[in-house]
Structure 1
Amino acid sequence: MGPLIPNGVIPFEWNFVIAILIGIVFGYILESSGFSSSRKLAGLFYGYDFVVLKVFFTAAIVSLIGIYYMDYLGLINVGQLYIHPTYLYGAIGGGIIMGIGFVMGGFCPGTSLCAVAIGKIDAMAYGLGIMIGVLIFSEFFSFLEPYFDGAYLGHITLVDSLGVNPYWFIFLFTVTAVILFFLVDMIRKRVKKVFY
């Protein structure tokens, strides 16, 4: 049956309408979770608040289990799902730049837009920085393109890269998350004892 648009269950013209609705719901969830606060987001890097890590690990696990369970039931064909192509050099460079920006500003691009929507001035400055960065990148794209398109690995997933059964990967990923949740709770308690 799924994915719905490629299989003609939902007309292609609805693609952007659905994307906008998902974006609105995602923004609402970010705001109601407190992710429009740069202090909460930066707390991950300073060891006093691990809500971001827990939420995104939980979302990844629920998505993985849901997708493969629906594949098992025949409701979704995992082979038809779009996988963004991997350009290794661009991913590494972008990850470094995004990571530095995340630590310095306390926002990722999505959470910064969420904070802009509720009128946070620091997020507006961060959003302006994103736009300046996009402008610089677009102006120098011809120079950066060989790096941007370098080390093309195709439409691969982590499961493909590791060569493991997806169900074993989901199980090990879940176990890792549970252990990580336990460890970060221990770190948070120690940091709170030092700083509070």
Structure 2
Amino acid sequence: MGPIIPNGLIPIEWDSIIAIFIGICFGFVLESSGFSSSRKLAGVFYGYDFAVLKVFFTAAVVSVIGIYYMDYLGYLDIRQLYVHPTFLWGAIIGGVIMGVGFVAGGFCPGTSLCAVAIGKLDAWVYVLGIMVGVLLFSEFFTFIEPIYDGYFLGNITLMDSFDWNPYWVIFIFSIIAVVAFALADVVRKRVKKVFY
């Protein structure tokens, strides 16, 4: 279940039930934060709403600080965490497709499902587009497999790639987050003056 819960305390059969409960709570938080609104989500690209940037940047900073602090205290072994393998071309092309879809549709896959749950029609269209994309990807996978598997870099992180001290990276990342929040507020105020 995690580094805080000892093995055997919660039976493995409960994992799916706990995952469903966590998913419901996550969906509730997304909806409560307004993340089921495509206008709010796309606002970061147009400069009038940076809530998405602030929430996800904050989540990343808090997570990385928490993980390394738990490693420092001995509750977690950072070397045992799974690092997703990097396929450079797949990541670049997938990132471009995801970014264009985010700007055009105003949703990411998670927030689109949250919006579907409350009955938003634009989210239904977006999810249908995701399903069509998955179908096309699976049907043409043999043709795109060389790109998908191309330029494999292994299970690496930025710290591994550049041999950086993780604590300095976390510190710099935190500073970047604070600067990004300040710049986002400046941009939002200027855009608000122009359009409102």
Shorter-chain TM-score: what band?
over 0.9
CA distance in 1, matches of 2:8, 2:145: 35
Amino acid at match of 1:116: V
The Cα shift of 1:17 comes to: 3.6
Amino acid at match of 1:65: I
Matches within 5 A, 1:83-98: 83-98=83-98
CA distance in 2, matches of 1:105, 1:90: 22
Deviations 1:48-96 (A, max 9, x none): 0000000000000000011110110001111111111111111111100
The Cα shift of 1:24 comes to: 2.0
Who is 1:102 aligned against?
102
SS at match of 2:49: coil
Amino acid at match of 1:182: A
The Cα shift of 1:18 comes to: 3.7
Who is 1:81 aligned against?
81
For the 8 Å contact 1:3–1:81, the answer to whether it is kept is no
Amino acid at match of 2:67: I
Who is 2:172 aligned against?
172
Unaligned ranges ≥5, structure 2: none
Matches within 5 A, 1:13-92: 13-92=13-92
TM-score (norm 1): 0.93
CA distance in 2, matches of 1:56, 1:145: 31
SS at match of 1:153: strand
CA distance in 2, matches of 1:125, 1:168: 43
Deviations 1:24-64 (A, max 9, x none): 22211111111000000010000000000000000000000
Amino acid at match of 1:121: L
The worse-fitting range, judged by mean Cα deviation, of 18-27 and 165-174 is 18-27
CA distance 1:88–1:183, shift in 2 (3 Å):
same
CA distance 1:85–1:3, shift in 2 (3 Å):
farther
Amino acid at match of 1:145: E
The Cα shift of 1:182 comes to: 0.6
Unaligned ranges ≥5, structure 1: none
Q: Percent identity?
A: 72
The Cα shift of 1:6 comes to: 10
For the 8 Å contact 2:112–2:127, the answer to whether it is kept is yes
The Cα shift of 1:154 comes to: 1.1
The worse-fitting range, judged by mean Cα deviation, of 7-16 and 43-52 is 7-16
Matched, 1:192 2:192: yes
The Cα shift of 1:19 comes to: 3.1
For the 8 Å contact 1:5–1:12, the answer to whether it is kept is no
Deviations 1:91-130 (A, max 9, x none): 1111000000000000000000000000000000000000
CA distance in 2, matches of 1:60, 1:25: 19
The worse-fitting range, judged by mean Cα deviation, of 5-14 and 69-78 is 5-14
Who is 1:157 aligned against?
157
The root-mean-square deviation of aligned C-alpha atoms, in Å, is 1.9
The Cα shift of 1:161 comes to: 2.1
The Cα shift of 1:23 comes to: 2.1
